[in-house]
Amino acid sequence: MENTRIQKLLNFLQEDGNDPFLLYALATEYNNLGDVDLALKYYEDLVQNHPNYVGTYYHLGKLYLKLNKDEKGIAVLQNGMKVAREIRDNHAFNELQSAYNQAAGLDYEDD
């Protein structure tokens, strides 16, 4: 079933190869299937060519962290917070900040 979904997204992408939603959806599908290389390809393309597509930063940062590329993951989350602040997307900023705090070891609870 996932392959059908990916094929549909790829078909749509042939029609509009610059649609950030399609790129994001493909990256997410590949990430969910465990195809890290293709997920990274699409997420990185989004950050490069559609920097205001702010949801990308969270998922790309988390993927880097999962791959033990902590410096890259933290940098992506920081960049995402900057973009979210610039476009005034407070919800995205809060999610990115929470992920950043966790990755940087800043999320602690009071005992």
Residue 42 in any domain: the answer is yes
| DSSP code per residue over 14-47 | HH-TT-HHHHHHHHHHHHHHT-HHHHHHHHHHHH
Split into its structural domains, the chain has a count of: 1
Residue 24 in any domain: the answer is yes
Residue 58 in any domain: the answer is yes
Decide: pTM greater than 0.75: yes
Residue 111 in any domain: the answer is no
Residue 40 in any domain: the answer is yes
Averaged pLDDT of the chain: 92
Does residue 108 carry a pLDDT above 90?
A: no
Residue 82 in any domain: the answer is yes
Residue 109 in any domain: the answer is no
Confidence of residue 1 (pLDDT cuts 50, 70, 90): very low
User: Region 17-36: what's the mean pLDDT?
Assistant: 93
Model pLDDT, residue 3: 72
Q: Which of 2-11, 33-42, 54-63, 93-102 has the lowest mean pLDDT?
A: 2-11
Residue 21 lies in domain? 2-103
Query: What percentage of the chain exceeds 90 in pLDDT?
Result: 84
Residue 77 in any domain: the answer is yes
Domain with 64 in it: what CATH number? Answer: 1.25.40.10
User: Region 85-94: what's the mean pLDDT?
Assistant: 97
